[in-house]
Chain A
Amino acid sequence: MRFSITRGPATKVAGLLLGVALALAVPRPSHADIFEAHEFTLPNGLDVVVVPNHLSPVVVQAVAYKAGAADGLPGKNGIAHFLEHLMFKGTDTLAPGQFSREIDKRGGSDNAYTSQDVTVYHQEIAKEHLELVMKMEADRMVNLRLTDAIVLPERDVILQERGERIDNQPGGRLGEAVDATLYLNHPYRLPVIGWRHEMERYTTEDALAFYKRFYSPSNAVLVVGGDVTVEDVRKLAEKYFGPLPKGADVTRERLHEPPPAAPRRVSLSDERVRQPYLVRSYLAPNYRNAKGNEGYALTVLSEILTGGSAGRLYRRMVIEQQSALAVDSGYDGGPYDIGRFNFYATPRQGGDLAAVEQEIDRQIAAVLKDGVTDQEVADAKRRLQISAVKARDSVSGPVFMVADALGKGRTLADVQAWPERIGAVTAADVLAAATQIFKPANSVTGTLLPKPAQEAAQP
């Protein structure tokens, strides 16, 4: 539905998608058709990116605001997500819900998501309606109108959403506990949707305050992809977004993490759990702040450890040892402040979480002791680069990837260089990056367990 929250550890798929917007795919296409994104900035500070793709007469538009849950005031970190819902509730010229109806009746779709760092609104529609969606998106950037009569029922909706996504899902509740433990001070420790007891008290004024502070052309990125030209987009963006006032300068200054002192463990038991699993998360450098190429090296490392059937952990734990039913890892270098490296493992039926955890630890120790081989690095790089070529076979994928990355403070050049930077990673880089992050104090281990049946009363 509309409000998918990008919460919790990023998956490997998300990592691969970073290769979507590329100018230098390897292997290169056999003909002269290299993907290119074009960028320009309007005088009011709106950053605009165009990603032409002529697969079908369709356009995808995304507006990313450089504001997410981590930018909320204390006690109100779910306001970014609540506002996302309220952005569909009307302006001076659009009735509540009309935004989506105008798109629906033309065969389009629209949606939005909120994460810790960014809030993205997007539409997909036949190309002749680009002007309409751009006009409406520009309108609600500055003209949102909210009253309690509209806002309060929507507060019930986000509470229902929390019920579906978190409260009804043991895994969702474990994820919240892991986040709250991994970050000691940074607001990434708080759930994107908010804590229930705080959500119940959100007000219209809270939402409008966040809107006024963060929603303006100079704090947003407009990305348009599909069957368009740069000139089409420039003309329409100047017409509809151009006249909007620039807005106040926004700085993002979140609380900083102290040096972590000790590894942490959390465990959640629920009688609905039939299959236990383990998650291990390490704090890591992100793409934006990394001193060198750690982010790319960690992407290659994750591919070496769990990239398909060839991954070290998969071979060892799933095929040879048969201790695990599934094992995966992923590096997420996208967050504005701090990256993250995650492991997940599901033991085989009746299997032992401790054995699975020990094997992950052994494999990490082996990487730290002996590094990875040149052949492993070469294979992983080739697989990642092929995935980058395949990611171009989509109209919406590249748009979402660019909007999300730029909304999190990365540059287009940085995004486009992804395949090239992956290509430059060496075995020594992988070892250095692994050595930097795989320290026990950097980590949280979470386990999801079945709740043992209640013991019968003793006579």
Chain B
Amino acid sequence: MIMRLLILACVLVLPRWAFALDIQSVKSDSGIEIWLVENHVNPIVSVAFGFKGGSGFDPDGKEGLAKLASGLLDEGAGDIDSETFQKRLTDRGIDFSFDAGLDDFTGRVRFLREDRDEAAQLLGLALTAPRFDAEPVERIRNALLIEIAQDESDPDSVAGRHMEEMVLGSHPYSRPANGTAASMNSITADDLRQFARQRFVRSRLHISIVGDVSAEEARRFVHEAFGSLPQDAALPDMPPIAPSKNGRTRVVDFQVPQAVVQFAQPGIPRSDPDFFSAYLVNYVLGGGGFSARLMEEVREKRGLVYGIGTGLWTFDAGGLVAGQFQTDPGRVAEAIDIVRTEWQRMASEGPTQQELDDAKTYLLGYYPRNFTSTMSTARVLRELQIENLGIDYVTRRQKEIAAVTIEDARRAAKRLFDASQLTFVVVGPADQIQLPGAEVVKTPAQN
């Protein structure tokens, strides 16, 4: 799970834009705010929405609840059974997709403009009256049980589970988002119905709509799809994470030809005033693909890996800096050594002026690439709302990035990176991995 989250974090914190995007804020009759961008290039409408409260809030013993619910919302609602519901979607090519993140439960809907009423009606039913009939519940549960079983033999997932345990301890974030076989089997239709009632509420809802739609049509769509949701329901607070600062190294003995290595240390939240400085120095160290120092040192100069990358985790309850690579078991020690050296070099020296300038022009220049489809645009607008960054973020963001100085970057690097806090998890054949002082675990962690 670690790396999936890492990728998500990268998406969330990528630069958003600096060009004029005409975002309208409109309210539905039911008082729900919508961020709307009209774009009439194609007869397509994309809707992205999200509710605060994701899989991190699954009740103890019911891990996997949000994930299971995400697979069932298009499997029957109101008096429409699963088969008919699916047929109405596929007949018109209406795309429904739901995703249980750690902090948020999100959805995306895309349709041809002529199918707006049909999409609104089906979405409204899916959110307010999901059926959770036995047949689809068992079918989707079985699919997830297989995913859970597969994860046990997947070196990436095994590494992620150990990393969560070592760095996050018993925080709710360290629980498996897909659940365990036992927790998945314990979830009932009543649990799912209660989930829908408690989570799908207007007070925690954010919506954006982009595409071939007018403001009036968008308001009607939202009123129809979301207007009858309850206003509010209780959601517990998420305690802040307290990530381990004692860097440890663990080797998980696992018979694969190539070793998987993950590493992480405490980071900063999205709301931190140093966020952009930290984002830029991470870009220089490991976030910038082929321009990053780690890629240069580990791949380009030595051919040790196919890829290596680092990213900032920025979740509601706190942040981490994390990374991953794969290499031959016999070369793990050498690669880890380089990561440590570069990590500490970044902490003590920071980036060069040239590296910082290149990272800034990357971030500034990236902006329009977020908006190359109606759905990608809608997703960005939804994230801005979920992160509470404000509708003026467009211009503010560019100014903030441009204002980062070399002193800011050095300060952030010193604050962010500390090799002594780095925890490493290596999943591979232990007898071929020479890491003195590492703890060796014989079997994959069981949930």
Which positions in A face B, CB cutoff 8 Å?
A: 1-3, 27, 29-31, 33, 53-58, 88, 96-97, 100-101, 104-109, 124-127, 129, 152-157, 160-161, 163-164, 167-168, 226, 271-275, 307-310, 318-319, 322, 325-326, 346, 348-349, 379, 382-383, 386-387, 389-390, 392-396
CA distance A169 to B367 in the complex (A): 36
Instruction: Let me know if B372 and A322 touch, CB within 8 A.
Output: no
Q: Who on chain B is nearest to A311 by CB? A: B90
**Given A106-B365, A275-B150, A308-B90: A100 and B291 interface contact (C-beta under 8 Å):** yes
CA distance A167 to B296 in the complex (A): 25
Instruction: Let me know if A107 and B367 touch, CB within 8 A.
Output: yes
Most chain A beta-carbon neighbours within 10 Å: one of B41, B142, B374: B41
**Segment at the interface with A among B1-9, B51-59, B107-115, B171-179:** B107-115
Instruction: Let me know if B142 and A383 touch, CB within 8 A.
Output: no
Contact string, B363-388, partner A, CB cutoff 8 A, digits 1/0? 11111111111110000000000000
**Given A390-B93, A392-B42: A107 and B361 interface contact (C-beta under 8 Å):** yes
Instruction: Let me know if A107 and B363 touch, CB within 8 A.
Output: yes
**Segment at the interface with A among B194-202, B239-247, B251-259:** B251-259
CA distance A96 to B291 in the complex (A): 12
4 additional A-B pairs beyond A2-B290, A126-B368, A349-B149, beta carbons within 8 Å, are A105-B358, A153-B300, A383-B93, A395-B373
- Give the tally of cross-chain contacts (CB within 8 A): 203
Residues of A within 8 A of B290 (CB): 2, 88, 97, 100-101, 104
Instruction: Let me know if B369 and A389 touch, CB within 8 A.
Output: no
B38 within 8 A of A: no
Q: Who on chain B is nearest to A388 by CB? A: B93
The count of chain B contact residues (Cβ–Cβ below 8 Å) is 75
Residues of A within 8 A of B50 (CB): none
Instruction: Let me know if A163 and B374 touch, CB within 8 A.
Output: no
Instruction: Let me know if A272 and B372 touch, CB within 8 A.
Output: no
Residues of B within 8 A of A125 (CB): 365, 369
Instruction: Let me know if A1 and B291 touch, CB within 8 A.
Output: no
Report which of B19, B303, B358, B361 forms a contact with A160, defined as CB distance below 8 A.
B303
**Given A30-B43, A153-B303: A309 and B143 interface contact (C-beta under 8 Å):** no
Residues of A within 8 A of B359 (CB): 105
**Given A27-B114, A107-B361: A58 and B42 interface contact (C-beta under 8 Å):** no
Q: Who on chain B is nearest to A106 by CB? A: B365
B19 smallest CB distance to A (angstroms): 7
B340 within 8 A of A: no
CA distance A107 to B401 in the complex (A): 13
B190 within 8 A of A: no
B249 within 8 A of A: no
Instruction: Let me know if B296 and A56 touch, CB within 8 A.
Output: no
Contact string, B251-276, partner A, CB cutoff 8 A, digits 1/0? 00001111000000000000000000
Q: Who on chain A is nearest to B115 by CB? A: A386
Within 8 A of A (CB), among B124-183: 135, 139, 142-143, 145-146, 149-150, 152-155
